[in-house]
Every structure is written in C-alpha cells, then in structure tokens.
Amino acid sequence: MKIRKKAYLTIDDSPSKNFLPKLDFLIEKEIPAIFFCIGNLLEKHPEAAIKSIQAGYPIENHSYSHPHFSDLTLGECRVEIEKTDKIIDALYRQADIKRAQKMFRFPYGDKGDMRRGLILKKGRNFDIKRHEVIQNILRDLDYNQPKYDGIHYNFMDKAKLWNDADMSWSFDVMEWATSEKKPTFGIKNLSQVLRRLDSKRPKDCRGNLWLEKRWLNSPSSEIILLHDHPETDDIFNNIIDKLKELPLDFRLP
C-alpha cells in the first residue's frame, strides 16, 4: 500500500524562454511550485516572473549566473546572492505583491564549502569556515528555510542540512540527466525518468541515499527537485502528469 504524503515541488533554473507554458500547465493541474531563478534569466524574462508571482508561484533566488560556489571567492559569492536578491525585490514591487519569505538554493547544491554539492562527503576538502561565512551572507539578507511539515530523512539529518539557511531537496527527479549518448545513472529517456518515479530505491547523484527507505516507501514529506530546461521541455508535462498520479499532496511551505 502506498502512503499518501506531502510534497513541495521546487523548479530550478527558471525562467527559461519556455517558462510560461510550464507555469500555465502547473496552474491548470493545480500543482503549486516554487521557482528558483537565475538572476540573468530574470533580467531577460521579467514579465514571465511577474506573472508567476501574481499567480501565487514564488520566484526565489538561485544565484545570478549559476556558478559552482566552491569555484568563487567569498566576494563573488556575495555578489551572486545580492545581485539576484535585488532583482527579485524589484520584480515583487512591479507585481505589487509583498515578498513574504526569501529562499535560496545553491546551483548544483554546491554550498561553496569545497564539497561541490556532495553533502555527505567528509574529510579535508570540507571548508567549514567558508561554509559558515556564505551561510551568514544569506542570513544577513533574511534568507532562511521555510517551515516544512513532516520531512524526516536520516541523510538530511546526517548532512546537517537543517542548520543551514539555504533550501535543499529530498528527491531529485533527475530528468536533467536524460541523455541517449551520455546517460547518468542509466537514464536515457522519458520512460526511464518516469519508471524511476515508481522505483523503490531511486538512485541519487549525491550518494547512497538508498540506504534508508525513501520516496514512495517512506512516510516522509518530500522536497522535489525539477528543472526548467529547454532540453527537457518536451517531457515536462509528462513528468508533472506522473507526479500528479502519485500519492502526493502538493503544497507550498
């Protein structure tokens, strides 16, 4: 028997040039979502972002140019965060909607601490000082994780994700990995992406998360990661339809 559970859908790398059809599809299917946006794309498609805000789909910060934060100086990290923060502020003003809470997600999940997104990795590469300095840049700008209901995964506790101001995810749809020529984790096409959504042990690029019961075999709520990529425009609606079929109650935090 499948457990019905809460799900928070987050969509990264917006707004692409094909953002609006995706927004419309989510509205039609009554699935709420948060869009983590790249600053330079917000500058290209401000009207799309304003529509999203006005439709109740939050526009949030995913850096200005989508770098690996571990490759940047601390000054550059600050600019990536602040520049996009100001762009988003201006968009909310233009939309005439109050920016209720601020959320940030690191590109590639790379928190700038030299682990490059491998959150379970320990050892000498982990620069705790850089980690904290960057977290404090976020906190100083009032970024914080929203209050989720019922997320309890050992791997998230172990990685101490709850101490941080940025927003992580518990389940990666991994549609970004779709490739016939260079498949990651053997994901070659849409049917394999969809099959993975039914999987008992979905693999994850962040490590051996399958060591605990996950996804549909766990009662934990989920933060789902999907992307707004032109390369996967043709399968976006199929993925949303499939997610809607699963025993998930979609909501905003």
Q: Least distance in Å: CB of 30 to Zn ion?
A: 25
* 110 near Zn ion, rule: CB under 5 A: no
Count, in order, helices (H) and strands (E) of the chain: 8, 6
Judge whether 148 and 8 are in contact, CB under 8 Å: yes
| Residue 175 touches Zn ion, criterion: CB under 5 A | no
The yes or no reply on residue 58 touching Zn ion (CB under 5 A) is no
Question: Residues 24, 237: contact at Cβ < 8 Å?
Answer: no
- In 3D space, the residue among 43, 53, 41 whose CA is nearest the CA of residue 230 turns out to be 41
Segment near Zn ion (CB under 5 A), from 99-107, 110-118, 149-157, 206-214?
A: 99-107
Tell me the per-residue interface mask from 4 to 43 with Zn ion, x by CB under 5 A, - otherwise.
Answer: --------xx------------------------------
Closest-approach residue to Zn ion (CB) = 12
Question: What is the rounded distance in angstroms from the CA atom of residue 100 to the CA atom of residue 157?
Answer: 27
DSSP, res 15: -
Helix (H, G, I), strand (E, B) or coil at 8: strand
d(CA 116, CA 59) in angstroms, rounded, equals 24
Please report whether residue 80 would count as binding Zn ion according to CB under 5 A: no
107 binds Zn ion (CB under 5 A): yes
Separation between Cα atoms, residue 18 and residue 25, nearest integer Å:
12
Q: Does 202 bind Zn ion (CB under 5 A)?
A: no
Q: Which is nearer to Zn ion, 6 or 85 (by Cβ)?
A: 85
**Position 222 contacts Zn ion (CB under 5 A):** no
Q: What is the spatial distance between Cα 115 and Cα 57, in angstroms, rounded to a whole number?
A: 31
CB of 212 to Zn ion, least distance (A): 25
Minimum Å gap between C-beta 9 and Zn ion is 15
- Footprint of Zn ion on this chain (CB under 5 A)? 12-13, 107
